[in-house]
Amino acid sequence: VGAPGRAATAVAHPNIALIKYWGKRDERLMIPYVDSLSMTLDVLPTTTTVRLDPTARTDSVTLDGSPAEGEVRRRVTDFLELLRERSGCFEPAVVDTRNSVPTGAGLASSASGFAALAMAGAAAYGLDLDRTGLSRLARRGSASASRSLFDGFAICHAGRGAGATADIGSYAEPVPAPDFDPALVVALVDEGAKAVSSRAAMRRTVETSPLYRAWAASSRADLAEMRTALLRGDLDAVGEIAERNALGMHATMLAARPAVRYLSPATVAVLDSVLRLRSDGVPAYATMDAGPNVKVLCHRADAARVAEAVRGAAPGCSVVTARRGPGARLQTGAG
Ligand code: PMV
């Protein structure tokens, strides 16, 4: 444990899972059932400043300039509580978060958000952690956040056992993909917040979906294939595995009781445009998270054509083209 840095600012980018995390075996420690693998993006960063304030009575949390409320505020203050327990420094904090990605719309805002909060918060409270430790810590905010600590491709290990053993074993680390630098065309078909939080949807899926176990088992096989496809830099293989893994995850939710359906008519229209691109000879593969937005993996040279096809399929949607991006980092000089 180092001396509290008092104030620190960190920047983190969202990541999009190619092999999804869905379902927790420990909700308090945020331990996933399955390993997951993602690409950190170079767009839509979150910037978070954490400043300790010994004169304050409670934490202050603002999100894009407005006071955070309800569940969002509670998740941040729970995380600050964890930082205080670990550091032995019990001062309240002022947290200011700026998102360039809509919060709660299934676009990994919790991934970039908790990666930035873990990094800035650990520095402010004086926790001396390496990147693995930071990734374990970020996992406590949101399991997908553990992956945003790393550049490019990263795997989050689900770990084994229970309690402290599970906690130690569940962290993210980089995955080699030396010659793989694709584009990910992000189609924001609906920027509103989702109707069911991913936390609630995961719980319902694990508890009630008869398809969940089958998907989890197939996901293990997908992961092994994905690693070799990434090593080969094989876009078609990476895309095929990612697309089936995502559709399988959504199938588990559709089979939950009651069903959780994040895919909207616009989502399906974009999925159709991806199929048309493929039949026209353009390699393009889709993945969707806990929301209606679609992310399309393709060669960088095809990104403009893919973006155009997606816009045509869902008029009015905003499209952002991403590449692999950097892991979370502290901003020096600011703070
Ligand atoms: O944002 P979280 O950590 O509650 O989980 C969302 C999980 C998915 O985005 C649907 C998949 C993933 O692995 O990121």
Residues with CB under 6 A from ligand 1: 17, 20-22, 36, 110-111, 142-144, 198-199, 289-290
The last residue of one of the domains, among 178, 201, 220, is 178
The last residue of one of the domains, among 161, 178, 195, is 178
Using the mean position of ligand 1's atoms as its centre, give its distance from the Cα of residue 281 in Å: 31
Task: Give a yes or no: residue 327 inside a domain.
Answer: no
Task: Give a yes or no: residue 174 inside a domain.
Answer: yes
Using the mean position of ligand 1's atoms as its centre, give its distance from the Cα of residue 91 in Å: 31
Using the mean position of ligand 1's atoms as its centre, give its distance from the Cα of residue 5 in Å: 30
> How many structural domains compose the chain?
2
Task: Give a yes or no: residue 1 inside a domain.
Answer: no
Indicate whether 249 and 199 sit together in one domain.
yes
Specify the range with the lowest mean pLDDT, choosing from 161-170, 188-197, 212-221. 188-197
Closest of 189, 199, 197, 289 to residue 247, by C-alpha? 289
Using the mean position of ligand 1's atoms as its centre, give its distance from the Cα of residue 202 in Å: 9
Q: Give residue 182's pLDDT.
A: 98
Using the mean position of ligand 1's atoms as its centre, give its distance from the Cα of residue 15 in Å: 9
Indicate whether 37 and 154 sit together in one domain.
yes
**What confidence tens digit (pLDDT) does each residue in 61-85 have?**
999 999 999 998 999 999 999 999 9
Using the mean position of ligand 1's atoms as its centre, give its distance from the Cα of residue 154 in Å: 14
3 pLDDT band, cuts 50/70/90, is: low
Task: Give a yes or no: residue 335 inside a domain.
Answer: no
What CATH number should be reported for the domain holding residue 282?
A: 3.30.70.890
Indicate whether 128 and 224 sit together in one domain.
no
Using the mean position of ligand 1's atoms as its centre, give its distance from the Cα of residue 41 in Å: 15
Q: How far apart are CA 248 and CA 218, in angstroms?
A: 9
Task: Give a yes or no: residue 36 inside a domain.
Answer: yes
β-pairing verdict for 183-188 and 153-156: unpaired
Using the mean position of ligand 1's atoms as its centre, give its distance from the Cα of residue 57 in Å: 33
The answer to whether 91 and 54 have CB atoms below 8 angstroms apart is: yes
For every residue of 186-226, DSSP letters joined together read EEES--SPPSS-HHHHHHHHHHH-TTHHHHHHHHHHHHHHH
Question: Which of 22, 245, 267 best tests ligand 1's pocket when mutated (most atoms within 8 Å of CB)?
Answer: 22
Q: At what angle do helices 109-124 and 131-141 cross, to 10 degrees?
A: 120
Task: Give a yes or no: residue 332 inside a domain.
Answer: no
**Cα torsion 13, 70, 246, 216: sign:** positive
The last residue of one of the domains, among 132, 159, 178, is 178
> What's the whole-number mean pLDDT along residues 228-233?
98
Which of ligand 1's atoms lies nearest the C-alpha of 108?
A: 1
Indicate whether 249 and 166 sit together in one domain.
no
Question: Which of 198, 199, 262 best tests ligand 1's pocket when mutated (most atoms within 8 Å of CB)?
Answer: 198
On the question of pLDDT at 107 being above 60, the answer is no
Cα 187 from chain centroid (whole Å): 16
Q: Using alpha carbons, list the distances in angstroms from residue 67 to 19, 48, 125, 176, 187.
A: 34, 14, 22, 40, 28
ipTM over 0.95: yes
Q: What is the mean pLDDT of the chain?
A: 94
Task: Give a yes or no: residue 264 inside a domain.
Answer: yes
Using the mean position of ligand 1's atoms as its centre, give its distance from the Cα of residue 139 in Å: 11
Q: Whose CA is nearest to atom 8 of ligand 1?
A: 289
Indicate whether 48 and 173 sit together in one domain.
yes
Q: Whose CA is nearest to atom 10 of ligand 1?
A: 289
What CATH number should be reported for the domain holding residue 52?
A: 3.30.230.10
* Three-class DSSP category at 183: strand
Indicate whether 84 and 164 sit together in one domain.
yes
Specify which residues 295 forms β-bridges with: 186, 287
Indicate whether 73 and 222 sit together in one domain.
no
Indicate whether 196 and 315 sit together in one domain.
yes
Which of ligand 1's atoms lies nearest the C-alpha of 36?
A: 13
Indicate whether 136 and 17 sit together in one domain.
yes
Which of ligand 1's atoms lies nearest the C-alpha of 249?
A: 10
Could you list the residue range(s) of the whole structural domain that residue 162 is in?
A: 7-178
Which of ligand 1's atoms lies nearest the C-alpha of 142?
A: 3
Task: Give a yes or no: residue 333 inside a domain.
Answer: no
The answer to whether 179 and 233 have CB atoms below 8 angstroms apart is: yes
Name the token pair of 301: 């040279």
Indicate whether 12 and 115 sit together in one domain.
yes
Indicate whether 171 and 205 sit together in one domain.
no
Put simply, whether the predicted model's pTM sits higher than 0.90 gets the answer yes
Q: Give residue 104's pLDDT.
A: 53
